[in-house]
Structure 1
Amino acid sequence: MSQTKKQITVIGAGVIGLTTAVHLQEKDEYQVTIVAEIWQSDHPTAHYTSHWAGGHHRTADGEDKRQRAMDERTYQVFRLMSEPGHAAEKCFIRTPQYEHYFEELGHPPGVENMPDFRYMEKSELLPGAVVGISFTAISFDAPLYLDYLQKCFLDAGGKLVHGSVQHIKQVVEGGSAVFEGRLPEPPVAVVVCAGLGARTLGGVEDKTVTPVRGQTVILHAPWVRFGATRRKIEDEMISYVIPRPGGNIVVGGTMSADDWCVCVLDVLWAMTRNRYPAPREKTKTAILAKALALWPEIAPPHARKDRVPTIADLYPIIVEEGVGLRPQRDDGIRIEAELVEANGVKAPVIFHYGHGSSGFESSWGSTYMAVDLMEEVMGTN
């Protein structure tokens, strides 16, 4: 049956590649193959950024109308997925979100459309905050959700292939077959969801894509049933707490632009764990100390009973440290098409990357746009 379907190859298996592939494969007219160096089911690495996402969805964030449209559409999908009885329900949790702003500008436009939105009372604000808002956010467990997407893709008949693509022409000419030791099988279209790899991938080489280094700490703290963020424009570190289903919380985090590196001690740490770049110990300490000062509730109840908790109380409940390089693009998310020729074989290539820190939040919205563009170029829409 797959021979009668149109062959599509997706490059990249992060949240954008998986979401795109799921949407295409479930259309039932396509046979989709993902070619990627790293999958979600592989050993965690900083080179697979999606694994390390927080994350939560706070839709309609900012002035960019296209971005807001993507976010809003994704929010509707996440809201449906988080409903009781949905197959993805266990990946999500709905909790109160509290955001404290330290500038007169306050919160970005559009956030007031979130469920249960209200302005916080002055007595609820962190010291120095100018304004605060509260609403109900949808939080998710990134690794669990990625597992769900990968399973959906495979259950629908999709195919995963390990492969290191040097140039998009390799895929245009031969599809995934060239990475499987088979005769070339040109696809009818290629979708590039390479994330940070778009910077070096031949045929793309988009130097406007740069890494924004994000480091977080995951704690097992099932008593924390809220999300909170301290937002201050000049701070490189944005303090936040994001709950996950299952009792873990993500404590963060950093937003370090064009930061690829680590110190020597961190390199030694990374070598023993097959990871580079690695979390920085000093940054971890700073993240935990700042979050604990803002929200002492993250410490175990026994540590707060008769005294002020310290950072030492958090170390026994550390589950994991994470660092990922978000693929930020100067002009925002790229959704464009180009006809590419390789040794007489032509195919439309759809570029779908550059999501920065909004990969999950805009994933479904940008996927719908990218697939619509692909079908328009192919003349099937």
Structure 2
Amino acid sequence: MKRKIAVIGAGVIGLTAALKIQKEYGENIVVTIYTADKSPNTTGDVAAGLWAPHLVQDTPEDKILKWAKETQDFFWKLWKDGYALDAGISLQPVVNLLCDDTSIPKWSTIAIGCNEIKGKELERFKNDHKIPYTGGFTFTSFTCESTKFLPFLENIFINNGGQIKIKKIENFSQLKDYDVIINCTGIYSKILMSDNSVKAIRGQILRVEASWQFHTVIDDSDDGCYIIPNANCVILGGTHQLDDEDTKPRIEDATRIIKGCKQMIPSLHEAKVLRHQAGLRPGRDQIRLELTTINLGNKLVPVIHNYGHGGSGVTLCYGCAGEVVDLVKIALTKSKL
């Protein structure tokens, strides 16, 4: 008899986990995704989708490096195999500038073509932007736009025999008939799991029309801004306001973002504003990726938690999905004993 797995959540974390499970088990397993909503109404649909670890709090660096590299390899394969347009994947240069003597992050060692910015080049950026940078680095990265990427993953999942059910899961007892449950509910885990370590990290952006802007620029200081091109617009950001659950765009935030981005790239004075957006990243002291069990009626059901990715859902999704598969193997082996 086929084993049944339920995945809660249809964002980038839930969809990649579901696909990776399908790839591992094929017809020997049935995977069903439960979600209160799906693209274009997920948290990820607000994001710029840049591959670069961000707001991962105290998650161990070795895990970040592993998950980020596996996800980067996944994007590389899609891009090289001709799926870039359908999946919303672009490859572009990134300039990441640092302040306050912040060191270059360790994940830069796996970034494509990474080079340090120093000397006269650093002075040029300091003078052009009128910001006292203390360092920086350049690399090539992917943007993965959720408004295309999530439907792309959904179609593959459904074509593989998966089902997506629009239903809000308020208690795991609703899924008592499944052999394994995968919890990919992001910020909703604060309620579903009563996990008070989950806190919203509010992010506000603007989408503008600036067809001449082809590279990403990031000011990594506490109040810094960023400019990230997507296929049909350029995203100006942003904020990272901890424990703030307001999804309505604020004038004061938009004003600061516009001012900061135009200071770095003056040509943005000519950019037409298309849309203001705000979303909530699922912040946590550490990403939770572990196997637990829960008593549902007369049986113990394995529950694998995969949430709390901060601003790195796109960056870490496929690597985390691989670890979910490893935990599913353990859960199914134990359930046979």
TM-score by length of 2: 0.89
1:51 aligns with 2:45: yes
Equivalent residue of 2:80, what SS? coil
2:185 to 194, 209, 215: 194
Identity of aligned residues (%): 25
Equivalent residue of 1:110, what SS? helix
2:229 to 239, 243, 252: 243
Partner of 2:101: 104
1:141 aligns with 2:145: yes
Q: How does 1:355-374 map to 2 (within 5 A)?
A: 355-374=309-328
Equivalent residue of 2:136, what SS? strand
2-side partners of 1:152 and 1:256: how far apart?
Answer: 35
TM-score by length of 1: 0.80
Q: How does 1:84-123 map to 2 (within 5 A)?
A: 85-86=82-83, 91-120=88-117, 121-123=121-123
Deviation of 1:200 (Å): 0.6
1:124 aligns with 2:118: no
1:319 partner letter: L
1:296 partner letter: P
1-side partners of 2:98 and 2:60: how far apart?
Answer: 17
Partner of 1:324: 279
Compared CA separation, residues 113 and 195, structure 1 to 2 (3 A): closer
Identify the structure with bigger relative contact order (alpha carbons < 8 Å, sequence gap 6+). Answer: 2
Deviation of 1:103 (Å): 2.2
How much is the aligned-residue C-alpha RMSD, in angstroms?
2.1
1:51 partner letter: D
1-side partners of 2:228 and 2:123: how far apart?
Answer: 22
2-side partners of 1:89 and 1:81: how far apart?
Answer: 10
Question: What are structure 1's unaligned runs of at least 5 residues?
Answer: 174-185, 262-276, 300-308
CA contact (8 A) 1:81 1:88 kept: no
Deviation of 1:90 (Å): 5.0
Deviation of 1:58 (Å): 2.9
Compared CA separation, residues 238 and 145, structure 1 to 2 (3 A): farther
Partner of 1:274: none
Question: What are structure 2's unaligned runs of at least 5 residues?
Answer: none
Deviation of 1:110 (Å): 3.3
CA contact (8 A) 1:102 1:231 kept: yes
Compared CA separation, residues 92 and 378, structure 1 to 2 (3 A): same
Compared CA separation, residues 90 and 23, structure 1 to 2 (3 A): closer
2:330 partner letter: E
Q: How does 1:225-374 map to 2 (within 5 A)?
A: 225-232=214-221, 235=222, 237-245=223-231, 247-261=232-246, 277-297=247-267, 299=268, 309=269, 313-314=270-271, 317-330=272-285, 332-374=286-328
CA contact (8 A) 2:53 2:312 kept: no
- Cα deviations by residue, 1:141-178 (Å, 9 ceiling, x for unpaired): 2211111111111121111111121111221x2xxxxx
1-side partners of 2:109 and 2:166: how far apart?
Answer: 43
